[in-house]
Amino acid sequence: MRQTLIAGNWKMYKTPSEARRWFHDLIAAKPEGQAEAALMVAYPLLPGAREVLEGHGVSWGAQDVSAHLEGAYTGEVSVKMLADLACRYTVVGHSERRSYHGESDALVAEKIRRLLEYDITPILCVGEPLEVREAGNHVSYTLKQLEGSLAGIAPQSADRLVVAYEPVWAIGTGKTATPADAQAMHKEIRTWLAGRFDLGFANQVRILYGGSVKPENAAALFGQPDIDGGLVGGASLKLDDYVALLNTVG
Ligand code: PEP
């Protein structure tokens, strides 16, 4: 059984003090349901996340990591720093990193390698832009990204990898893939993982959908057999919406 994961991606929103208050409110409002809650926040918010959320059944993590272990890399944040802050997850290869910072699949693979060395589970984002979807090449495009981002990577176990399928045209746009379209891609991804690793591994890896998930469309998406939760931007910033997403899973 794969436990549904509702991973919030806060992007560059909320200050450390706003976040701290929000974390306290979440603990008060969080349901006892079956979904796992995790919040991917900006680096300065991580110490507060640890302080407030530890022991309350909510995980936290970063939205990126340096491929370097340490050194003269001004502005970067290392995996050792994230491990010291007890991050359970970290997002890598988000389309905003790929497009605004030119991150390649090879760089994403380096970052994944670092995270696994420090027992932090990568949430690997893949997904096609609009023109690729319109040309009908979304499956090959996404699987190629997956292949490049996992080149030479062998996670110790299936709980050491989360894949997030995020069609770029659905991120922050209000447009969502239909549950059937999302399911079709998730199935392709799981089949690819079975070939690259093995069937048992593929059946245990969680594959999240991301792209304008909100309480109104979550049940239909999360009800698909290969959709194991969401990587959620906008809706994860609002407490009521995030709690409603957690409540979607019985
Ligand atoms: C994201 O940030 O990964 C995302 C999917 O954002 P949104 O839910 O706002 O589309």
Q: Has 94 been annotated as catalytic?
A: yes
Model confidence pTM above 0.95:
yes
The residue whose CA has the least distance to atom 2 of ligand 1 is 233
- pLDDT, residue 54, reads 97
Q: How confident is the model at residue 168 (pLDDT cuts 50, 70, 90)?
A: very high
**Atom in ligand 1 nearest the alpha carbon of residue 234:** 9
Q: What is the pLDDT of residues 21-42, one digit of tens each?
A: 999 999 999 988 789 999 999 9
Q: How confident is the model at residue 250 (pLDDT cuts 50, 70, 90)?
A: low
With pLDDT > 90 as the criterion, what percentage of the chain qualifies? 93
126 forms beta bridges with 165
Q: Has 101 been annotated as catalytic?
A: no
- pLDDT, residue 13, reads 98
Q: What is the DSSP string of the chain?
A: -PPPEEEEE-TT---HHHHHHHHHHHHHH---SSPEEEEE--GGGHHHHHHHHTTTTEEEEES---SSSSSS-TT---HHHHHHTT--EEEES-HHHHHHS---HHHHHHHHHHHHHTT-EEEEEE---HHHHHTT-HHHHHHHHHHHHTTT---SSGGG-EEEE--GGGTTTS----HHHHHHHHHHHHHHHHHHS-HHHHHHSEEEE-SS--HHHHHHHHTSTT--EEEESGGGGSHHHHHHHHHT--
- pLDDT, residue 109, reads 98
- pLDDT, residue 217, reads 96
ipTM metric = 0.97
Rounded to the nearest angstrom, the distance between the alpha carbon of 10 and the centre of ligand 1 is 9
The residue whose CA has the least distance to atom 7 of ligand 1 is 233
**Mean pLDDT, range 167-174, rounded to an integer:** 91
Q: What is the pLDDT of residues 56-110, one digit of tens each?
A: 999 999 999 999 999 999 999 999 999 999 999 999 999 999 999 999 999 999 9
* Higher per-residue confidence, 31 vs 161: 161
- pLDDT, residue 249, reads 84
- pLDDT, residue 1, reads 85
Report all structural domains of the chain as residue ranges with CATH numbers, in order of start. Answer: 5-247 (3.20.20.70)
**Mean pLDDT, range 43-59, rounded to an integer:** 97
**Mean pLDDT, range 223-247, rounded to an integer:** 97
- Of 66-75, 113-122, 174-183, the one with minimum mean pLDDT is 174-183
Pocket (CB within 6 angstroms of ligand 1): 9, 11, 166, 171-172, 210-213, 231-234
- pLDDT, residue 32, reads 85
**Mean pLDDT, range 193-221, rounded to an integer:** 96
